[in-house]
Amino acid sequence: MSGAVRGSLTLRVTLVFTLIVALAASGLGVYLYRAFAGEIVRRDDIQLLGKLRQVQMLLGRPGAAELLRAQPDVFRDTMSGQENSLVRILAADGRMLADINALGEHYPVPPAVGAAPGVAAIAAWTTRGGDPGRVVAGSARLDAGEVTVVVARAYGERNAMFAAYRRQIAGAAAVSALAAALLAALMLRRGLRPLRTMAEHAALVRRVAGRPRVRRSLRPARGARRLSDGAGPHTRSSTPASSSTCA
């Protein structure tokens, strides 16, 4: 019984300790993931604004209008990560001057908020493959006129990186819970060793305490047998003495 109770106590405490460690590790992992993902998104937004400024600077150079008509891909190739960058340049009357979109993605065109838009002006969109994207628009000077520059980018590799990071967090939480279970079981076995010793001593005392009861129950019967054995010879020896006295 004591072994079963001890085993049940060890199991319950181990499960509780494992659950606490798993919840703590999961909570810490979620916090770190959100902080990491938020920092990556913020960095990408800053880089997207930097790409917009690069295009604005190119459009402000002399001969940019002819370069835009002859080689529009130059405005994309000057940006880092250009394989996922999309550039659209619109005239003041809405005419499409350039649309650099090799993948044929459809993305929204947010309103231009001046030559230096901030992070709040960036809009989110989703590619046909389900990857997240970001887009921002700003005004620029082209020769003597004003145009609208739209820069967008798809973040398929970022989505894959986030998925891999989530798997790493889940694996770390699982390993932490398993290690906590093993450590808890070992610590409880060592911690409950005095209790186990006390239980063994208590069981031994109960066994020893039960033996004198049997001996005490046998003492009256043994005493009766001794009295009966002693009374027979005494009676026989007293009979001849009495007969000799009468004679």
Mean pLDDT throughout 124-151?
Answer: 90
- Residue % of the chain over a pLDDT of 70: 74
First to last CA, the chain: 77
Does residue 114 register a pLDDT over 70? yes
Cα(152)–Cα(110) distance, integer angstroms:
10
Does residue 91 register a pLDDT over 50? yes
Give pLDDT, residue 211.
58
Mean pLDDT throughout 17-32?
Answer: 88
SS3 169: helix
Mean pLDDT throughout 127-133?
Answer: 89
Q: Are strands 132-142 and 145-154 parallel, antiparallel or unpaired?
A: antiparallel
Average pLDDT, the chain: 78
The pTM (predicted TM-score) of the whole model is: 0.65
Does residue 89 register a pLDDT over 80? yes
- Rank 81-85, 135-139, 222-226, 227-231 by mean pLDDT and report only the highest: 135-139
Cα(58)–Cα(63) distance, integer angstroms:
10
Cα(84)–Cα(20) distance, integer angstroms:
43
CB atoms closer than 10 angstroms to residue 140: 21
Cα(75)–Cα(44) distance, integer angstroms:
19
Cα(41)–Cα(154) distance, integer angstroms:
12
Give pLDDT, residue 234.
47
Q: How confident is the model at residue 133 (pLDDT cuts 50, 70, 90)?
A: very high
Question: Burial, 151: exposed, middle or buried (Cβ in 10 Å; 0-12, 13-18, 19+)?
Answer: buried
Q: How confident is the model at residue 43 (pLDDT cuts 50, 70, 90)?
A: very high
